[in-house]
A and B are shown apart, each in its own frame.
Chain A
Amino acid sequence: MEVKAGSPAATSGAHSVSAAETEKWMEAAMHMAKDALENLEVPVGCLMIYNNEIVGKGRNEVNQTKNATRHAEMVAIDQVLDWCHRSGESPSEVFEHTVLYVTVEPCIMCAAALRLMKIPLVVYGCQNERFGGCGSVLNIASADLPNTGKPFQCIPGYRAEEAVEMLKTFYKQENPNAPKSKVRKKECQKF
């Protein structure tokens, strides 16, 4: 798997990343996904890298905030905005030169948000068969949506098996905030 990352095919666009960069930042993103898993959130972690610096990072915070839109990418986008504010940088300049490293393919919502922020490149681990917005369910990354920011480039597949394993582990345990199944609901009504 590792050999493929940063392959020449992926560097044809305006933005490219080296194999060493991919290895380094995806390792950090994997750690964040593990942190999410330990905190009973969907195990997705991501980093926003601008000029070889982490300007934002996030993991899923849906259960903590009761806001179903708080995916890792949305959390990280808000961190980049904060970073821009603190360091006096222009958000549009920063986002247009930022690479997102994320353990799972961004969902349809996040892919649209990444377009709106005009992030040029996303490196991700496994496919997101349930919600994926970079080709699995829809391809928002490349869709013709003239009023929704800019399309972005994707490099999929880095450490995909590990990312999938974490998701499987999560879905095997129970999401404490998700609606209960009818069976469990009945058990609850007993007292």
Chain B
Amino acid sequence: MEPHGKEEAGSPEQELLSSPSPWRVLPILSEQQSGPVELVPAYAAPVLDPRQTSRLVREVSAALPLPAQPHLKRVRPNLDASLPHALELLLCLAGDDSGTCTLSELLPPAVDPHGLGPPFLVPVPARPPLTRAQFEAARAHWPSTFHEDKQVTRALAGRLFSTQERARMQGHMQQAVRAAQRAAARGLRAVGAVVVDPGSGHVLATGHDCCSAATPLLHATMVCIDLVAQGQGRGAHDLGPHPACSFALAAAPQAIRPGTVRKLDCCDKDGEDGLPYVCTGYDLYVTREPCVMCAMALVHARIRRVFYGAPSPDGALGTHFRLHARPDLNHRFQVFRGVLEDQCRRLDPDT
């Protein structure tokens, strides 16, 4: 076994030369990250006397805090050239059916309204922006702060993975494509998948769709989850009749050396026998976006990341649902689509 935690443990020359059509890997973010900016009505008022601005901000912020909208700045420049005032102050959120209000109706006695003009309704972003696109959309409505997740930004720009990482990803997906082709050659559906331990780069399971009248639920992902279990000495299905489905015996992780960077993983990993709990810490490469059953199976199996080639019509990792990014499920994982997308799409006409 190669030492864990080394940046480039794999063989960088692998598969680089047989480069097929170019592909682009994109993250499948949560609904919250990818949805449009939700707006809520709020009251703001023009600051007619600029010398009162800092006092007004202090008093309004103290008397009318916005605990659910920490991203909203209190003051914005006036964008309407026909009006003389320079600044506008955010006072408080308004109900959905709110109408015109006066300052004395909105402000508690602790706020001296001196320097403010009549309040007006304005839509403001309801939640902190999570991506740069949401930030740009949000601040078009009201100035907002943005705590950028650099990894998300790089992923969205297609810059998350190095050339070596992309070469490894392509190698793994090519193995999944070959498994799918072997399935098709046997009259089975052309969907293939591999499970990889990203720490060592080792492929732990290679599988393909094994659906038949006798085994109608053996989708490629379900096959791979069972192959990993077989590599751990258990498993539930007899995949002997499918020679292209194979597994590697799982090795118990080597002794943890102090100071290694894999501390987090060791806490996640290992049952009584020192083996990982189901698929904890592993990556899945699958030619086609998993269905609802397979996507939830991956939640239960505690997969680390999923890379799929082409989307599928009822797909549950981006198309119809985003099961990997739900705050109400007990496990979440990263999903990327597009690895060898063209080849994967050609495998299965339904994708």
Contact = CB atoms under 8 A, between A and B. Distances in A.
Interface residues of B, number: 47
Interface stretch (B27-35, B156-164, B292-300): B292-300
B100 interface: no
Contacts of A138: 321
B216 A68 contact: no
Contact of B280 (A67, A111, A116, A179): A179
A176 B272 contact: yes
A53 B127 CA distance: 54
A152 interface: no
A148 B294 CA distance: 12
Interface string B49-84: 000000000000000000000000000000000000
A108 B292 contact: yes
B301 interface: yes
B1 interface: no
Given A66-B229, A68-B225, A146-B314, A77 B328 contact: no
Contacts, number: 117
B268 A179 contact: yes
Contact of B313 (A70, A74, A147): A147
Interface stretch (B170-178, B185-193, B232-240): B232-240
B3 interface: no
A91 B267 CA distance: 44
A110 B299 CA distance: 13
A77 B217 contact: yes
A68 B214 CA distance: 21
Given A81-B215, A109-B297, A176-B272, A65 B229 contact: yes
Contacts of A182: 267
Contact of B292 (A65, A81, A140, A179): A140
B271 A176 contact: yes
Interface string A132-144: 0100011010000
B172 to A, nearest CB: 22
A116 B215 CA distance: 12
A156 to B, nearest CB: 19
B21 interface: no
Interface string B252-277: 00000000000000111111100001
A128 to B, nearest CB: 12
B217 A65 contact: no
| SS of B interface (majority) | loop
Interface string A59-72: 00110111111100
A57 B267 CA distance: 36
A116 B314 CA distance: 12
Contacts of A110: 293
Interface in A89-138: 91, 107-113, 116-117, 130-131, 133, 137-138
A91 B314 contact: no
Contact of B235 (A66, A91, A146, A176): A66
Contacts of B292: 108-109, 111-112, 133, 140, 145, 148
Given A109-B293, A145-B320, A67 B225 contact: yes
Contacts of B286: none
A105 B343 CA distance: 39
B323 A108 contact: yes
B330 interface: yes
B217 A116 contact: yes
A110 B222 CA distance: 12
A67 B236 contact: yes
Contacts of B323: 108
A131 B329 contact: yes
B266 to A, nearest CB: 8
Given A66-B232, A67-B226, A116 B267 contact: no
Contacts of B296: 107-109, 112, 131, 133
Contacts of A4: none
A65 B234 contact: yes
Interface string A36-52: 00000000000000000
A66 to B, nearest CB: 4
B225 A81 contact: no
10 contacts: A67-B225, A68-B225, A116-B293, A131-B296, A137-B329, A140-B292, A178-B277, A179-B268, A179-B269, A179-B270
Given A147-B312, A177-B277, 13 more contacts: A67-B226, A67-B235, A67-B278, A69-B222, A74-B217, A91-B214, A91-B216, A108-B296, A112-B296, A137-B329, A146-B313, A179-B269, A179-B277
Q: Which 8 A-B pairs have the closest CB atoms?
A: A109-B296, A112-B293, A112-B292, A68-B300, A66-B234, A67-B229, A108-B296, A66-B229
